[in-house]
Amino acid sequence: MFIRGPFRRFVVVCGVFFAFTLITYFYATQGPIDMKILQEKVQQFNNDFAEKLRWRGGFDASLKQLELKCDPQVRAVRADIETGSLYDSVPFKNEDGGVWKQGFNITYSPSDWDKQKLEVFILPHSHQDTGWIMTLDEYFAKSTRQGLDATVDFLSKNSFARFIYAEVAFLNKWWKDLSTSVRTLFIKLVRDGQWEIATGGWVVHDEALTHYGAAISQLIEGVVPNVSWIIDVFGHSATAPYILRKAGIKHALINRVHYEIKKALAKTQKLEFVWRQPWDSSGETEVFTHLLPFYAYDIPHTCGPDPSICCQFDFKRIALRCPWGVQPTLITPSNVQARAELLVDQYRKKAKLFKNGDVLLVPLGDDFRFLTSNEWDLQISNYQKLMDYINNNAAYNMHIRFGTLSEYFGLLHSRTKLKDFSTFTGDFYTYADLDDDFWSGYYTSHAAFKSMSRFVEAEVRNADILFSIASHWSPAADKIATLLFGLYTQLTVARRNLALFQHHDAIAGTSKSHVMADFHSKLDEAIRCAQNVSATCTAFLLGYESPEVCSALELEISSGTSPVLRSANPSLGASSTPELFALTFDSLEDVKTLYLFNSLPRPRDHILHLHVNMTRLLWEIRRQVKQPQTISISAQFGNVNTPILVQLEPWDVIRESSTSTFLFHLSAGPIHLQPLEVARVTLKLMSEVSQSPAVIVVKPTLYRIAPLPPSIAMFYEQEPIHSLVPQLQSNLLQLMFDKTTGFSQVLLNRVTGESHKLAISIEMMKAVSEPTRAGAYISALFASKEPLAKEPLSMRVLRGPLTEEVTSYYSQVKHTLRVHKFSQSLAFHPFLPSFGPLWFSIRSLLPQDTPGNLAVEVENVVDLTSIKASVEIVMVIQTDIRNTKGIFFTDSNCYQMIQRKYYTKIRPWGNRYPMTCAAYIEDRQHRVTLLSGQSVGVMAGENPGEIKVWLDRKVFSNDNRGVGEPLTNVKPSHSVFRIVVERISPPAEVLQVGATFVPSLTAEAHYVQSDLTFPAAQFLTNFNPSRLVANRQLMESTGLPCDCDLVTLKTFFSKSERYNGLNSVPGSQLGVILHRTVHACGTTYLCDAACECPFLEKLSIRWSDAFPKLIPKMAVKTPVTLIPDMSTSTSPDSDINVGRMEMDGFLLVPSKN
């Protein structure tokens, strides 16, 4: 990007000359090219090229003066309330508020309602976790089934009664066993507005740690909603209301917000506000939001500010107790006046916290309430007596009724215009319910499960995309129905098990141990189902022209016989860390054929990663062959058998246990994949006669490790630590590390010559004392730091043709730094011609400037199983970024970036925030971006240039938030990060007074994140590969516009009348969700054509051009749930349009002709 004008043309000419010279040499000599020598020469060419650029006269000066070419940024729209300014204004002093401990004394005059009665809506509810203290199935069997039965019975007999419910996973289990008559009754209750299903998701998903794609997916598995009811998630994200609005929801109720923030909003009567996105200047993203003002969502904390009084109106507690000492009593003619006076007083005080036309919402419920007809009768009959008395007493100027959330919002808007409410932008993190008990611990609790969830998300997305394309592939339209539709059951299992884990006590890691184990088994089932669907659909797309393949697939789907393809992706099984797929070579004649699938709508380079087991082969060779042989593995790509580099290394014998001496880690690549391409890779064994048997491997060098057994030692070098050169180097980057700790120190950009401090360390934080207030939810009083190791450190250094890496072994942490060595600054330059198969071979060896090379990769495996004390493992990254005002940025559900600030008035653990995908710090010239392959907790701003990441934790105390056990049954966790260092340039408008812009990742950082989140899928053939084509392009090679992400393609089979005329094929629907990103102005200077993204003011995609071989050719815009909105037009269009920063869903339909 930085090479312009004549010098750029000079570089291109040199590249063409270099390629032409190689081709001439080939045809002149008529002999084979030694690929190893060629690779070395190309590597040296690129090293020289980088050096010439770096030392070219005037380069450093021109770099400093360089004005980056930036896309127009999106100006942030000012709101009445913003998270940053709100936090700036709140003192966080936790002052005693009297009966409302966390609030203030509320006063009123009875005459305040002389002109207009106070309208009170009482809303019965039952919050039912889909896994927490019990599993989903245990809860359903013990409580939920009988509760839903009792509810449908009571509501059908009492038309004035109302109920709100949010957990569709439970409704689905209940629905399966209902009689036709009860189903009809339930549908009537929903349609008549007595029973309101809120939010409509499969679960009430966590908002801090979920990827936006998974959050949308679980909404799609649910039902059509009108309003959202989110009372138990632990804080609220900025992206969640955006997703709700895109799903067609315009009203929401939320609860768990820091008590000081609630207090500040209550004082100014702004507990109801219009939540909008910072880029929205038209109001199209607005969600009207109601925030519950008090401590909790149970009855003692919802009728008014005094819980000791409100508890007396929870009539189920007659058989239980109220902790404030005064118990409920039945309402009788003799006490109704006194009881009504108490209740009216609480309602009036609560109403003074709102400014909405004298409309009041009073939730009536708790966890697993209204489970029996007796409970329904007890609560409703006593409230009915109070309501009758109050409604008939004009002195109260109050009218009380049972109502749904929709009815409440309906009356509110009839009395108060939307423009009279304040607008709000931002989010509500980090949550605290009392004192300094910030709920930041769950950002990292059960870290292994958080990594597992992201792994499953990628697999389910692959399955959705491949199933959707295969089931709508027009060249095979006559074979689709008989072959593929049998897979839909497995796809549904995968989708719903993933959706279940997005529940706020699942991905949060805040359930009991046996419940987490149940979630683990369901995630494992999701992986197996998704991988099977992906493999079968890929086999179909590659072999539908072959009768043999179709017959094998039909048999495979119907009877579960040996698959044509099987997934060669990593797996989990009983493990909590990914395990590479293992290939076994039993003879020298073995040939392994694999296929790769790029699920991204843009090109990428992939490195194939596998385990290779040659134990049996090598023993057989040793036993049968008299003449020793040297064994190596070769790899070829595509239908022209282009050679690709192979890096074979012994598997890690220091920490990993293996029953095989001859287990290797194979890396092969770089393999260039077009958008949504499936392509073949072939692995073969090569053998040569030698003086002694051997396997050609890249030998890692071991330091401070005891001598290895002879059978293993031959695959390693062992050297004294003083001989170690502490640096890792690629064509583009050089990373210096500390030979004592193995931690990074300095990163050098070899093209620009700029070096940056990049000092990584890992700290073990221990609790100040035991027990603490910490637990699965809360992280508090972790202060003392201890070194990870007191003994000399064992290290492993690998310097291969594809990667260089150093691994450091601590007692509880295995820490790896890695740089990728392949790069392609010339190979895919648009001006370079193609000269046939040889040129493809050369292109595979030339440096590739794709996003995978721009970052330092950090991999950690944390194992706290043997630790006997409460600890948190924290990775600390120190840089030379000068963010002196404590400002840093974290992502919101991988969708957008949010500005944060470190506050000294808040305890350190309250300055920790959720990081789903990314965080960055920056100054005027540079930015350091940390990209994450899993959700974690992150903090920055405490010290300039510093980022802290919480990797894992184990806590022996219980924080008394309901789970009832300490966080001790933790599994080893695996985490992967990539660090990108960029030069940035703020838009010119930033220099204007008051101009602010929506923060975002750069294009390069976004591409690196996409590559990390959605790796290419790998498949192994179990069939004659000659019956499968070598590659299949599933969309046009141009892909989608570079600022457009393919969130998912989804196929489903709905019989709803909503889809009349909108089927993709008879009886089936196909939907697509697209997200258009905005890129910040910045670059590493390491990625040229592959990272360029020309700005388009208006994005227009002609679906038939992008996917010419799919049956649907036109699109109908829908909510992101892909359920048509009956109130809007369903006229198909040939083009798809998505606004900047926006996300939209579309149903895809055949053309009108």
Enumerate the active-site residues.
232
| Residue 1061 tokens, joined | 């005329």
Helix H or strand E encompassing 425: strand 423-425
Per-residue burial over 202-234, b = 16 or more CB atoms within 10 Å of its CB, e = otherwise = bbbbbbbbbbbbbbbbbbbbbbbbbbbbbbbbb
CA angle 856, 860, 862 (to 5 degrees): 165
Distance CA 588, CA 88 (A): 69
CA angle 953, 958, 961 (to 5 degrees): 105
Q: Could you tell me which residues come within 8 angstroms of residue 748 by beta carbon, excluding any fewer than 6 positions away?
A: 733, 734, 735, 736, 754, 755, 756
3-state helix, strand, coil in the chain (%, to 5): 30, 25, 40
Residue the block writes with tokens 């730094």: 817
Distance CA 836, CA 818 (A): 34
Contact between residue 386 and residue 340 where contact means Cβ atoms under 8 Å apart: yes
Contact between residue 919 and residue 890 where contact means Cβ atoms under 8 Å apart: yes
Q: How many CB atoms lie within 10 A of CB 500?
A: 24
Contact between residue 167 and residue 126 where contact means Cβ atoms under 8 Å apart: no
- In SS3 terms, 1065-1087 reads as ECCEEEEEEEEECCCECEECCCC
- In SS3 terms, 458-523 reads as HHHHHHHHHHHHHCCEHHHCCCHHHHHHHHHHHHHHHHHHHHHHCECCCCCCCCCHHHHHHHHHHH
Distance CA 1133, CA 1107 (A): 15
Burial group, residue 931, by CB count within 10 angstroms (0-12, 13-18, 19+): buried
Q: Largest Cα–Cα distance in the chain?
A: 111
C-alpha pair distances (Å), 735 with each of 745, 760, 917, 927, 976: 7, 11, 23, 17, 17
First to last CA, the chain: 45
Distance CA 786, CA 870 (A): 13
Q: Could you tell me which residues come within 8 angstroms of residue 972 by beta carbon, excluding any fewer than 6 positions away?
A: 448, 576, 577, 861, 862, 863, 864, 865
Distance CA 637, CA 666 (A): 15
DSSP 528: H
Q: Which of 811, 795, 818 is nearest to 719 (CA)?
A: 795
Residue the block writes with tokens 């010279």: 21
Distance CA 630, CA 990 (A): 63
Q: Is the dihedral of CA 669, 670, 672, 673 positive or negative?
A: positive
Contact between residue 139 and residue 167 where contact means Cβ atoms under 8 Å apart: no
Distance CA 765, CA 939 (A): 14
What string of DSSP letters covers 893-957? TTTEEEEEE--TTS-GGGG-EEESSEEEEE-SSEEEEEEESS-EEEEESSSTTEEEEEEEEEBSS
Contact between residue 490 and residue 532 where contact means Cβ atoms under 8 Å apart: yes
Q: Is 142 helix (H, G, I), strand (E, B) or coil?
A: helix
Q: Which of 694, 507, 701, 672 is nearest to 598 (CA)?
A: 672
Q: Which of 527, 537, 529, 536 is nearest to 578 (CA)?
A: 527
